[in-house]
Amino acid sequence: MNARITDTTISDREISLTRVFDAPRELVFAAFLDPQHISNWWGPDGFRTTTHEMDVRPGGVWRYTMHGPDGSDYANLVKYTEVVRPERIAYDHGGDPAEADFHATISFEDLAGKTRVTLHSLFASAEQRQAAAKFGAIEGGQQTLARLADQLAGQSEDSLDDLVLVRVFAAPRELVWKVWTDAAHLARWWGPTGLTMLSTRLDLRPGGSFHYAMQAPDGQTMWGKFVFREISPPSKLVWVNSFSDPDGGVTRHPGAPEWPAEILNHLTFHEHAGKTTLTLRGAPINATAAERQVFRAGHQSMQSGFGGTFAQLTAYLEKLPR
């Protein structure tokens, strides 16, 4: 889904950022309402957001902590002053107007199926606006909108429930990229805990594939496959994941026939202070409504499964020379 920054305006007390998204207004507006999904994209590159409380209505609040790539935490408080679906959201950042750092208005303009989003911030003084700009408010706002574009890419209204995982690894980005894109490395850590990699074949190019076989403790052999759509070293990988067979075909989940046959994954790599933040977003494609429902119901088990896989990646990275 294409999106671009169309305007950045700065006055003595104001900062205004605008971006056009190739997505319907209802979908874009909904991305600002759900505490689970806003945590997937809110904040500059490399940041994570934990929502403690979110009540999107006039008088309601959003309490959240932003976690910087360097391990710093930034507590935030938003108090909503206006919510007009799907046109506008306004809030005071910092709580009550007398104590707020700034007043923000987010507007959503329908452009015949596309949506223009404008983030306008009004500060109490020129000095406060200058301090915010020096802290990175402009670049951070642009990056936040770009992350929203990534979140919306290829999604329908149903896909706001897609699985998103964020992990930080104590290794430089080039090394983390390498272990994701080299068959010998992948064989050492990829897959659920307890499974043994039997064979791998990697053709790292758009349209190429990673075809592999794993053996479960009971002796059962399972095949899987990536088909790569985008390879942007060392920052982004996009691929379609599926179960497979020895010939490289697409097969169904051996234990769950209603599981979607294909999952589109976007993986981004961000480095700060020698550490790498991985953000993995997975969404079913070419799936029925019933298959999407099964996928959503499986979020918790997927979180656990990927937790084991990422733990294996962490242990493997610790063994590699820097």
Q: Are residues 142 and 184 in the same domain?
A: no
Q: Are residues 134 and 198 in the same domain?
A: no
Q: Are residues 194 and 304 in the same domain?
A: yes
The 3-state secondary structure of 107-174 reads EEEEECCEEEEEEEEEECCHHHHHHHHHHCHHHHHHHHHHHHHHHHCCCCHHHHHCEEEEEEECCCHH
Six token digits for residue 216:
């479960």
pTM above 0.85, yes or no: no
Q: Are residues 123 and 201 in the same domain?
A: no
Burial 59-83 (b: 16+ CB within 10 A, else e): eebbbbebbbbeeeeeebbbbbbeb
For the beta sheet containing 73-84, the strands, ordered from the edge strand earlier in sequence to the opposite edge, are 3-10, 14-21, 114-123, 102-111, 88-93, 73-84, 61-67, 48-54
Six token digits for residue 224:
């899987």
Let me know if residue 135 belongs to a domain.
yes
Tell me the mean pLDDT in the region 122-132: 91
Q: Are residues 112 and 221 in the same domain?
A: no
Out of 153, 185, 214, a domain closes at 153
Q: Are residues 108 and 209 in the same domain?
A: no
Whether the per-residue pLDDT at 287 is higher than 80: the answer is yes
Tell me the mean pLDDT in the region 133-138: 89
Q: Are residues 124 and 207 in the same domain?
A: no
Let me know if residue 82 belongs to a domain.
yes
3-state SS assignment for residue 303: helix
**What does the pLDDT look like over 21-61, one tens digit per residue?**
998 888 898 889 876 678 889 999 999 998 887 878 888 88
- For residue 1, the model assigns a pLDDT of 42
* Residue 272: CATH number of its domain: 3.30.530.20
Q: Are residues 19 and 39 in the same domain?
A: yes
**What does the pLDDT look like over 152-193, one tens digit per residue?**
886 655 555 567 677 778 999 999 999 999 999 999 999 999
Let me know if residue 158 belongs to a domain.
no
- Strands 236-244, 221-232: pairing kind: antiparallel
- Per-residue confidence at 296, pLDDT binned at 50, 70, 90? confident
- Per-residue confidence at 98, pLDDT binned at 50, 70, 90? low
Q: Are residues 142 and 179 in the same domain?
A: no
Range of the domain at 44: 3-153
Let me know if residue 301 belongs to a domain.
yes
Let me know if residue 179 belongs to a domain.
yes
Out of 90, 119, 153, a domain closes at 153
Q: Are residues 137 and 16 in the same domain?
A: yes
- For residue 63, the model assigns a pLDDT of 86
Tell me the mean pLDDT in the region 211-233: 96
Per cent of the chain over pLDDT 90 is 61
Whether the per-residue pLDDT at 269 is higher than 70: the answer is yes
- For residue 36, the model assigns a pLDDT of 67
Q: Are residues 71 and 42 in the same domain?
A: yes
Please give the residue that has the higher pLDDT: either 18 or 25.
18
Closest CA to 186 of 89, 96, 30, 317: 317
Tell me the mean pLDDT in the region 294-315: 87
- For residue 274, the model assigns a pLDDT of 87
- For residue 100, the model assigns a pLDDT of 67
pLDDT averaged over the chain?
Answer: 89
Let me know if residue 207 belongs to a domain.
yes
Out of 132, 153, 174, a domain closes at 153
Q: Are residues 16 and 148 in the same domain?
A: yes
Number of domains in the chain: 2
